[in-house]
Structure 1
Amino acid sequence: LGRHGKGTTFLCEATGIEPDAVTFGKAVAAGQGDALSGVALRRGAAALGCNGRSVMQMHTYAGSSARALLTAAAVLDELPAWYDRIAVAGDLLSARLEEIRDATNGSIIVNGSGLMQGALFAHPDNSVRRHTTAVLQGELVAAGVM
């Protein structure tokens, strides 16, 4: 939800892609303990409940409370106010990841946009990848991230 840094809630809005369905997960309820997820359909939703058919959405968060729905509505209302900050933070993250990529001479590949970015250890030697992963995990534990 907006973490891609393109100034929209869903990435498909920024790219002009018109999907048949968009799914969303726990971020819509801000991870506040009242988990919620869902799907938005472009067309055909009305047909799901006609001619004696019934629809039941089953997922981890089925049966979420009205509080989760209220939280989600508030998140969706507030989200546009964060778009500019997400873009700035995403640019900072991109710059740092690119520095890391360049410093490793291609042993790390970076991908993503906004705050939805990641890195892949791509060194051709598997033992080097394992060692690098262990070092990173140790640093993350020391920093309290893991």
Structure 2
Amino acid sequence: FKMVFDTIEIGFLWDKAADMYHSVVEATKKVKGVVLITAHVSHFYPNGVGFYFTFAGIPPKEKTNLEFYQEVWNTVIKTVEDCGGSFGHHHGVGINRSKWMPVEWGKSFDTLKNIKKLLDPNNILNPGKVYESPWKEGGEN
């Protein structure tokens, strides 16, 4: 018996928060194998909120746990992007989120990479955590 659970935290402005919540829930429910998608607001600010989405699912037989996990994550992040939100609120980027950094940062991403190269020319500080991640689709690292 295999099951997958995780949380995904994201940020949104107040004027889009309700629509974003419903969009993420509806999109995630469509992923084959998802049995639970819920959320709570963990952080409140004058301009927006930090949501914690929790999902659980039983991967279909044709998918590994990791493939299912990545499909759910991709669905949530793509929906957040389409709704104009931020794919991370306060937990940082890490290996899993690094592939979305160019989307999140837009043209500023090149500036970030140049600063990193200038300050860390040997790439010893958190290699693969912000960009050029070693994370591979399908679980091959």
TM-score, length-scaled by structure 1: 0.28
**Greater percentage in strand:** 2
Please report the TM-score for the alignment, with normalisation by the length of structure 2: 0.29
